Chains A and B, each alone.
Chain A
């Protein structure tokens, strides 16, 4: 029996082929395959081609189950840039690949854990939308920790 291949399309309309038995590690794809056979192209409107290439690389890994945990950790470690990790986490969330999402989120948490507030905002590109008075009020809610 020949292995069935699925085609995934990134938001920038690039196509990626992947064997079905590997693709169904994604619960989202598994459900799609179950529902309608997913013979045509599966569009992933929130995943860009760079990130999808990473996800495909991850799904194609040839790891023994007992080495898998270490592999996932190493996989995200090698892509230690916060923007890449966030894209990866979002793709893993959309595709419902729990291990990959956990590892990516863990890595982000690890990277930002010693950041100051300003550094967190900068790293994650968040605008400070509060006045100093508002910030003080929030601090006061957990005053003991400051």
Chain B
């Protein structure tokens, strides 16, 4: 550490020429030196520096630090005399330093080591059978070199001499003894009793050095951004407050946060913000496509956060456009947010055929199932408008040509988490009993497709007690592991996605079977509900507890609509402010039951259909067999 500025520095120097070269005239040695100041983020080269000495490969390369200088044992350019070379951390220069007086030419290289004991620079010299410790009492003063300890052969009989290996001094102790590494063992030597003692604390073959623990934080040396660097004065406390670029520490930045937290925070943002945030850094890009993120993001919106509008012209056949509207749904107000960017034009988009119509089948967890139906065209698509992936399911066995009535559903099974598409056509079988028509047996020809299996499974002919009604929507409402449809006589038919059976669900008590009674199914705040219109009266029935007949509850009655109503009103979703988003005569309207108003949102032109929707990052790629 530099004493003036308090900067921590690392210095490393290589010698360009190995000296000495025998029988050659001496020439200057050059050091290639670099300095790293903690907090700067890069090494600074000091360039080639001519010095009057050579580095000694027999000595240690790590220089003890004392008094603003690092110290090494070097040799003069002839290679005859040992010297002490220093590096000044302040002005960053290499210098020679006074050596103990006994530095004379020796034929047999003795081992020397530098050490710091009690704040003084020490030099250890091991030569044949003798260890001498020199201490420089006053730093930098040549005359202050003082012979402190001499250990000679014979004083300790159990030691093997001569000394082929250097002795390292670790520390001087207050009782006058010294801690040394001798023959790779940690020993204590007491110069008064002249006794060596193996501390026997460690296995042999070790090295050691004096160490003082501290709470100095490396994060204080974080490399500064260029902007900050310009403002900071040297030596100010905050100029130190950064770290080495490659050191990772716990800090209040997202990069150091556990992925769990990053995932959590990101999952709470809107889809568009999430997509933009993928560009923030490499980690975030992969995070968004990770299944744990996808699932967490899905769990954040158990109820739809918006709706899809499908422009589906009736007059001319074309696949139409899917538009996505986000709803800012607050207790006191709501706001529809339509972003043209988010629309998905199905026209002129291979492999979708032109001159055919696209029908909505259902939507679950951000996936949309569509039915492309037209002349000689019968395809089922599953797509995710967010990831822009789609798949076309294989051909079914049962085609519509032979069967007029159809129900279609899409959902996810609660037990296995499998995504399933179900399609059923009605086949009627008349039972002849003598010459009197005893009745008719209704049969559904049903097929189920589980995403990822690559084929439709036939449930064969399923006898049911009801008929399908072409007046009602063929697309099923998915809730609670079941798809739901309204069938003839205003009954509610369900398909259980786990055990794959058709059942009837209790209807609201007073819904009579009038011909002009129009009904539509919807999901309102997690409950199945029926919008019932008759003449000019709209009633919304809610099944408070799923499957319980007595829990049907008349939520809203409205008689202010200009009647009579010939078409069903469809509910897109209920909003937190108590109003309802509905499709009324193919217009997206907001129905406020307290003010008894139905207002055109004026968002889209006719004609269209729409359904509640929550976007997700669910990957179709995970259902590989179709791709």
- Is the C-beta of B107 less than 8 angstroms from some C-beta in chain A? no
- Is the C-beta of A23 less than 8 angstroms from some C-beta in chain B? no
- Is the C-beta of A33 less than 8 angstroms from some C-beta in chain B? no
On whether the beta carbons of B281 and A138 are closer than 8 Å, the reply is no
Contacts of A105 in B (CB 8 A): 261, 264-265, 268
From 24 to 82 in chain A, residues with beta carbon under 8 angstroms from any chain B beta carbon are: 46, 82
Distance (whole angstroms) from the CB of B571 to the closest CB of chain A: 29
Known A-B contacts A109-B269, A142-B278; A126 and B388 likewise in contact (beta carbons under 8 Å):
no
Report the interface size for chain A: residues with CB under 8 A from the other chain.
36
On whether the beta carbons of A144 and B388 are closer than 8 Å, the reply is yes
> Which of B89-97, B186-194, B248-256, B474-482 is found at the contact surface with chain A?
B248-256
Distance (whole angstroms) from the CB of A125 to the closest CB of chain B: 4
B263-289 to A contact mask, C-beta < 8 Å, 1/0: 011101111110111111110010000
> CA–CA, A106 to B261, complex, Å?
11
On whether the beta carbons of B285 and A138 are closer than 8 Å, the reply is yes
From 67 to 125 in chain A, residues with beta carbon under 8 angstroms from any chain B beta carbon are: 82-84, 86-87, 89-90, 93, 101-102, 105-106, 108-110, 112-113, 117, 120-121, 124-125
- Is the C-beta of B342 less than 8 angstroms from some C-beta in chain A? yes
On whether the beta carbons of A145 and B275 are closer than 8 Å, the reply is yes
Distance (whole angstroms) from the CB of B228 to the closest CB of chain A: 12
Distance (whole angstroms) from the CB of A17 to the closest CB of chain B: 24
Contacts of A102 in B (CB 8 A): 264
* Residue of chain B at shortest CB distance from A101: B264
Main secondary structure of the interface of A (DSSP, over half): helix
Contacts of A133 in B (CB 8 A): none
> CA–CA, A120 to B277, complex, Å?
8
* Residue of chain A at shortest CB distance from B285: A138
- Is the C-beta of B260 less than 8 angstroms from some C-beta in chain A? yes
Contacts of B265 in A (CB 8 A): 89, 105, 108-109, 112
Distance (whole angstroms) from the CB of B45 to the closest CB of chain A: 25
Contacts of A86 in B (CB 8 A): 252-254, 257, 261
> CA–CA, A83 to B253, complex, Å?
7
Contacts of B250 in A (CB 8 A): 46
* Residue of chain B at shortest CB distance from A46: B250
B255, B266, B273, B341: the one within 8 Å of A144 (CB):
B341
Most buried by A among B250, B277, B279, B341: B279
Distance (whole angstroms) from the CB of B336 to the closest CB of chain A: 18
Report the interface size for chain B: residues with CB under 8 A from the other chain.
34
Contacts of A113 in B (CB 8 A): 269-270, 273
A83, A90, A126, A127: the one within 8 Å of B258 (CB):
A90
- Is the C-beta of A21 less than 8 angstroms from some C-beta in chain B? no
On whether the beta carbons of A126 and B275 are closer than 8 Å, the reply is no
> CA–CA, A128 to B265, complex, Å?
19
On whether the beta carbons of A128 and B261 are closer than 8 Å, the reply is no
Distance (whole angstroms) from the CB of A117 to the closest CB of chain B: 6
Known A-B contacts A113-B273, A142-B275; A124 and B253 likewise in contact (beta carbons under 8 Å):
yes
Contacts of B278 in A (CB 8 A): 138, 141-142
- Is the C-beta of A130 less than 8 angstroms from some C-beta in chain B? yes
Known A-B contacts A125-B255, A144-B388; A130 and B276 likewise in contact (beta carbons under 8 Å):
no
Contacts of A145 in B (CB 8 A): 271-272, 275-276, 341-342
- Is the C-beta of A135 less than 8 angstroms from some C-beta in chain B? yes
Distance (whole angstroms) from the CB of A80 to the closest CB of chain B: 14
Contacts of B254 in A (CB 8 A): 86, 124-126
On whether the beta carbons of B258 and A93 are closer than 8 Å, the reply is yes
Contacts of A127 in B (CB 8 A): 255, 281
On whether the beta carbons of A121 and B281 are closer than 8 Å, the reply is yes
Contacts of B276 in A (CB 8 A): 117, 145-146
Contacts of A139 in B (CB 8 A): 279
On whether the beta carbons of A121 and B280 are closer than 8 Å, the reply is yes
Contacts of A106 in B (CB 8 A): 268
CB-defined A-B contacts under 8 Å, sample of 9: A46-B250, A89-B257, A90-B261, A102-B264, A124-B253, A126-B255, A128-B281, A144-B388, A145-B271
State the 6 A-B residue pairs at the shortest beta-carbon distance, nearest first. A125-B253, A124-B254, A109-B268, A83-B252, A145-B275, A105-B264
Seed contacts A89-B257, A146-B276; 9 additional CB < 8 Å A-B pairs: A87-B252, A101-B264, A105-B261, A117-B279, A117-B280, A129-B281, A130-B279, A130-B282, A135-B279
Interface of A toward B, CB cutoff 8 Å:
46, 82-84, 86-87, 89-90, 93, 101-102, 105-106, 108-110, 112-113, 117, 120-121, 124-130, 135, 138-139, 141-142, 144-146
